[in-house]
Amino acid sequence: MLGHALMNVFPDASFLGHRDVEITDAVSVRKVILQERPSAVINAAAYTDVDGCEDNPDLANAVNGDAPGYLASACSETGAILVHYSTDYIFDGSRMDYREDEVPGPLSAYGRSKLLGELAIQKNTKNYRIIRTAWLFGPHGKNFVDTILSLSKQMPQVKVVNDQVGKPTYTVDLARKTPEIISREPGIYHITNDGVCSWYEFACAFIPNAVPCSTAEFPRKAKRPAFSVLVNSKTTPLRHWSEAVKEYVHLKEAI
């Protein structure tokens, strides 16, 4: 999802996918960055199956943890800026919200692997922009909005958890914000759409038949933080999530 959105924002960039470079291979990563000599590397690759990471922690750590470190090392060698996307799931949800300088405490294999990636980047380069984001939705990929829209048409009621709270983020808006973050000082940035909601409240914005349920009623393999609201203290906020999801659903209906 995010990779496609970034392609629209950076039309003149070189786009590399799985077939072009294996990011879990340090040698391959260094070779391609030395060859391309980019001014900036934007890493939109990640293993984002939160429950899948519980079954495959080694793969999660390789993709989300080690690979960003390889990118950082090669960027440091060539003088490139590294932009990397991280997650609200590096926090444990024990607080109502989290600023950029809060101490992480991930609850899941996914969260732990993403935190490893952040630490590997900071260890291997100083010229980084780590963008923590949350609850991504948008074209070109599986996401909550698409799943719930589909279920809404198949059943009279759709149960959605009402005790996990966060900030939905439209990939299009996040991608459009990225050039600004590149121009800013190195560091960690929290970028989401504005506004806070539960998954149930999010669903109610675009389907008429959502009903609330608890996390206990909807058990998942990986533990999710109850509160993962990312506070953006460094930049101007993106538009409200409700406006963004309305645009996205309208776009889907027009196709």
d(CA 75, CA 128): 9
**Which amino acid does the sequence have at 133?**
T
SS (H, E, C) 18-37: CCCCCCCCHHHHHHHHHHHC
Q: Which residues is 97 bridged to in the sheet?
A: 229
Residue-wise pLDDT tens digits, 181-213: 999 999 999 999 999 999 999 999 999 999 999
Among 156, 152, 146, 159, residue whose Cα is nearest residue 215: 159
Question: Which tokens sit at 201?
Answer: 């409240």
> What does the pLDDT read at residue 40?
97
| Per-domain boundaries in the chain | 2-254
Could you tell me the sign of the dihedral formed by the alpha carbons of 32, 38, 44, 47, in that order? positive
Q: Give pLDDT < 50 ranges for the chain.
A: none
Among 107, 230, 214, residue whose Cα is nearest residue 167: 230
d(CA 9, CA 209): 35
Q: Which residues of 128-150 are buried (b: 16+ CB within 10 A; e: fewer)?
A: bbbbbbbbbbbbeeebbbbebbe
Question: Which tokens sit at 106?
Answer: 């991930």
> What does the pLDDT read at residue 144?
93
> What does the pLDDT read at residue 255?
66
- Active-site residue flag, 110: yes
> What does the pLDDT read at residue 139?
93
- pTM equals 0.94
> What does the pLDDT read at residue 251?
85
Tell me, which fold does domain 2-254 have in CATH? Rossmann fold (3.40.50)
How many other C-beta atoms lie within 10 A of the C-beta of residue 154?
Answer: 7
Taking the mean position of all CA atoms in its chain, how far away is CA 78? 26
Among 122, 30, 129, residue whose Cα is nearest residue 71: 30
Among 121, 137, 7, residue whose Cα is nearest residue 67: 121
Q: Which of 98, 110, 128, 248 is catalytic?
A: 110
